A and B are shown apart, each in its own frame.
Chain A
Amino acid sequence: MDFSAINPALLLASLLVAATPILIAGIGELVVERAGVLNLGVEGMMITGAVTGFIVTIETGSPFLGFLAACAGGAALSFLFAVLTQLALANQVASGLALTLFGLGLSSLMGQGYVGLKPPASPKLDLPLISDIPFFGTVLFSHDAVVYFGFALVACVWATLKFTRVGLVLRAVGENHDAAHALGYKVVRMRILAILFGGACAGLGGAYISLIRVPQWTEGMTAGAGWIALALVVFASWKPWRVLLGAWLFGGVTVLQLNLQAAGFAIPVEYLSMSPYIITIVVLVIMSADKSRAPASLGRPFHASS
């Protein structure tokens, strides 16, 4: 066992990288849930985004186009969910599960010819001067653009929900869809848009795993990240900034256990690999004491019958 191999600055830097996929997917799901829709298909949308992003990047050589395609792929899959739950009024839990099963199948079919390839490296956003600051430069200022985009996204979602008219309508739809409908807001349209946004975010988060974090394509590579993102929303009590906090916590656990594995820690590898999932459960238990913050219409179907 050799703890000196673990460099705290690199550890924190890789924490930010490990947190980014679940952060982006989680903030997208937060918007969906604030609109009153429970989409359990995050895992399926993430893996679809991972594979579309990977394929487009390999074919065009441009990670930027790859990320765009991943957003489109995730959103396209979430559109299926939107049609099922908003137009065909299907059960949201079952539809979300269907989306995950479908996405896992679709992605492994699409990714068949791409196993083992290496995508072109995404350029790091090297900010001159400040990335040379000893400790903080490595931790904070030597990342790729998506990491910063994740932060910006959290800020945008927070500001939109809190200060804008769209945010207010979205929250109204999520808290009481009948009242929102009576006021003349388009409940179904708002929810479909929220679902598409969530899908695009999940796709982007997935592509971050296949293009930067790993970077290669293997079947089922998201390995439950989508479900952790769902847990993250509960952990955050549906508040944007807390998603950031939660993502760091899970990112930290993941990175730490990987480092302990590499350092040859006395606990067997399998038990270390379990730890992120077990910690998720423990955190869920702690946070589920406070249910008051959940949007009141969460998971309830809406049909304008009158």
Chain B
Amino acid sequence: MLKLEKRPQPSKAYAYTTPFLAVLATMFFGGLLFMALGKNPIEAILTIFWEPLFGEFAFYYRPQLLVKGGPLILIAIGLSLGFKAGIWNIGAEGQYIVGAICGAGAGLAFYPMEAWFIFPIMILAGAFGGWVWAMIPALLKVKFQTNEILVSLMLVYVAEQLLASMSLGLLKNPEGHGFPGSRNLKDYPSAFNEEIITGSGMHWGVLAAFIAVIFAYVLLNRHMLGYSIRLTGEAPRAAKFSSVNPARLILFCLGTSGALAGLAGMFEVSGPAGQISIDFNVGYGFTAIIVAFLGRLHPVGILFAGLLMALTYIGGEIAQSNLGLPGAAIQLFQGMLLFFLLAVDLLTNYRIKLVRKEAA
């Protein structure tokens, strides 16, 4: 009979290997899924994980890795701070949308003026928008102990309606012949989030993501606030006895994750997406939850997890056009990854022992 025995301390070795185990398990069961859909599983897996990096058209796909990974990493870094302390912001999608609306709105307010300060103002506006949206659940939790999970999630639906309203109303392109959607920021140089190195996919948002990784690392390892976050998550009782202020922690974690999600939205709307439109958001805010866990809530882990997840997005698109694999299959594939990740975590905290049944 199998029996679980709690480890006195989480196993370090397993903490590092379980993400790889989860990815392998997902590939295996994902392969089965693709087989059930009538595709060659090995070909499908290779298309998703190999083609974008080393295939024939890799020169086109590699920059996409940064374009898609940037927002995922930026959002996931913010989320991981809260998740570490048991503060669950799952409404990053909403903060992402509001950040994009505020950023684009701030830029378009200056149209058609050209000036160097417009883009920095947009960055501030985007971060502010996301921050405000996240402060709603934060303040409600601090003041009324309202569940931040439900409130932040409800605000995603509110933000989606706000997005629709903006692209049909206030921010609608006056020269757009009545089509919904704002002016395209690609045609407005002062507000356009240009690639820093042409053809690399490296835009200002990706740079911001890398900076966020470094900041989070320093915060968690070298700073008192980061220590409080880790203490609250790992030993809530000890945190209560030491001088950790829970309200401050909630405001900081939710606020930071909101601001980073808002930034991600702003960089996306001013760069790769180009405009505010009804279907602007594609679920980065939710996928970032998977990224945060896949990276084991560690900044460097999240960096790699974000790139891997970006790979599944790109590979999924290739598989969609080349093999006719349904787009939803990739979404399912990503969900599966989170499942396996949570399941194999068992090995980190418990030892599995084979015991012979004794006579009672």
Q: Mark B1-43, 1 if CB is under 8 A from A, else 0.
A: 0001110000000000000000000000000000000000000
Partner of A230, one of B4, B150, B286: B150
Contacts of A288 in B (CB 8 A): 144-147
B48 at the interface (CB under 8 A from A): no
Q: How far is the CA of A231 from the CA of B137 in the complex (A)?
A: 14
Answer yes or no: B305 CB below 8 A from chain A CBs. Answer: no
Tell which of A16-24, A52-60, A119-127, A270-278 binds the partner: A270-278
Q: Sample 26 A-B pairs with CB under 8 A, ordered by A number.
A: A40-B149, A80-B339, A84-B339, A88-B345, A89-B4, A89-B350, A94-B342, A101-B290, A104-B335, A105-B329, A105-B335, A109-B328, A109-B329, A223-B157, A224-B157, A227-B153, A230-B150, A270-B168, A274-B162, A281-B136, A281-B140, A284-B147, A285-B140, A285-B146, A303-B4, A305-B5
Confirm or deny: A268 has a beta carbon within 8 angstroms of a beta carbon on chain B: yes
- Please provide the chain A residues from 145 to 202 with a CB less than 8 Å away from any CB of chain B in the complex: none
Contact B350 A281 (CB under 8 A): no
Chain B residues, CB < 8 A from A88 = 342-343, 345-346
Q: Is the CB of A112 within 8 A of B149?
A: no
Docked-complex contact A95 and B146, CB < 8 angstroms: no
CB distance from A238 to the nearest CB of B (A): 13
Min CB distance A79 to B, Å, is: 12
Question: Complex Cα distance A109/B289, Å?
Answer: 21
**B150 contacts which of A106, A231, A278, A303 (Cβ < 8 Å)?**
A231
B231 within 8 A of A: no
Main SS class of interface, B: helix
With a cutoff of 8 Å between Cβ atoms, the chain B residues found around residue A64 in the complex are none
Residues 330-358 of B at the A interface (beta carbon under 8 Å):
330-336, 338-339, 342-343, 345-346, 349-350
The 6 closest A-B pairs by CB, nearest first: A102-B335, A105-B331, A105-B332, A270-B165, A108-B328, A109-B328
Contact residues in A for B162 (Cβ distance below 8 Å): 270, 274
Check: B191 CB closer than 8 A to any chain A CB. Answer: no
Say yes or no for B151: interface residue by CB 8 A criterion.
yes
CB proximity of A227 to chain B, nearest CB, Å? 5
Q: Bound state CA distance, A112 and B320, in angstroms?
A: 14
User: Which residues of A does B touch, CB under 8 Å?
Assistant: 40, 80, 83-84, 88-91, 93-95, 97-98, 101-106, 108-109, 112, 219, 223-224, 227, 230-231, 234, 268, 270-271, 273-274, 277-278, 280-281, 284-285, 288-289, 291, 303, 305
Check if B154 sits within 8 Å of A102, measured CB to CB: no
Question: Contact: A102 with B161, CB < 8 Å?
Answer: no
CB within 8 Å for A98 and B153 given contacts A106-B332, A288-B147: no
Q: Which residues of A contact B147 (CB under 8 A)?
A: 234, 284, 288
Given contacts A101-B289, A284-B150, 5 further A-B contacts (CB under 8 A): A84-B342, A98-B290, A102-B332, A102-B336, A285-B144
Whether A274 pairs with B339 at a CB distance below 8 angstroms is no
**With the chains together, A274 CA to B149 CA distance in Å?**
18
In the complex, the answer to whether A93 meets B149 with C-beta atoms within 8 Å is yes
B328 contacts A278, C-beta separation under 8 Å = no
CA distance A97 to B289 in the complex (A): 9
A46 to chain B, nearest CB (A): 14
Contacts of A95 in B (CB 8 A): 339, 342
- CB B24 to nearest CB in A, in angstroms, measures 17
Residue numbers in B under 8 Å from A227 (CB-CB): 150, 153-154
Asked if B293 and A94 sit within 8 Å, CB to CB, the answer is yes
Residues of B within 8 A of A219 (CB): 328
Contact present for B331 and A104 (CB under 8 Å)? yes
B135 interface residue, CB < 8 Å from A?
no
Bound CA–CA A305/B7 (angstroms): 11
Contact A105/B164 with A94-B342, A227-B153, A281-B151 known, Cβ cut-off 8 Å: no
Asked if B90 lies at the interface with its beta carbon under 8 angstroms from chain A, I say yes
**Which residues from A are CB-within-8-Å of B199?**
none
- How many A-B pairs with Cβ below 8 Å? 130
B176 at the interface (CB under 8 A from A): no
When C-beta atoms are compared, the residue in chain B nearest to A80 turns out to be B339
Beta-carbon contact of B90 and A97 below 8 Å? yes
Q: Tell me how far the C-beta of A111 lies from the nearest C-beta in chain B, rounded to whole angstroms.
A: 8
CB distance from B97 to the nearest CB of A (A): 13
Q: Which residue of A lies closest to B341 (CB)?
A: A98
Chain B residues closer than 8 Å to A80, beta-carbon distance: 339
Tell whether A274 pairs with B332 under 8 Å between CB atoms, given A98-B339, A102-B339: no
**Residue from A91, A106, A274 within 8 A of B342 (CB atoms):** A91
Contacts of B88 in A (CB 8 A): 93
CB of A274 within 8 A of CB of B161, answer: yes
Residues of A within 8 A of B55 (CB): none
Tell me, yes or no, whether B326 is within 8 Å of chain A by CB: yes
Q: Which residues of B contact A234 (CB under 8 A)?
A: 147, 150
Asked if B100 is at the interface of the complex by the 8 Å CB criterion, the answer is: no
Residues in A with CB closer than 8 Å to B136 are 281
B155 at the A/B interface (Cβ < 8 Å)? yes
With both chains docked as a complex, state the minimum distance between the C-beta of B140 and any C-beta of chain A, in angstroms. 6
- B247 interface contact, C-beta 8 A: no
Instruction: Check A280–B346 contact: CB distance below 8 A.
Output: no
CB-defined contacts of A268 to chain B, threshold 8 Å: 165, 169
Partner of B151, one of A93, A105, A284, A303: A284
Given A89-B350, A288-B144: A277 touches B157 (CB 8 Å cut-off):
yes
A residues within 8 A CB of B149? 40, 93
Instruction: Assess whether A281 is in contact with B161, with CB atoms less than 8 Å apart.
Output: no
B158 at the interface (CB under 8 A from A): yes
Residue with the greatest number of chain A CB neighbours at <10 A, chosen from B144, B154, B349: B154
Neighbouring B residues of A84 by C-beta, 8 Å: 339, 342-343
Known contacts: A109-B332, A223-B157, A289-B144. The answer to whether A89 contacts B150 by CB under 8 A is no
Q: How far is the CA of A227 from the CA of B93 in the complex (A)?
A: 15
The smallest beta-carbon distance between A294 and chain B, in angstroms, is: 10
Residue of B nearest to A288 (CB): B146
Q: How far is the CB of B335 from chain A (nearest CB, A)?
A: 3
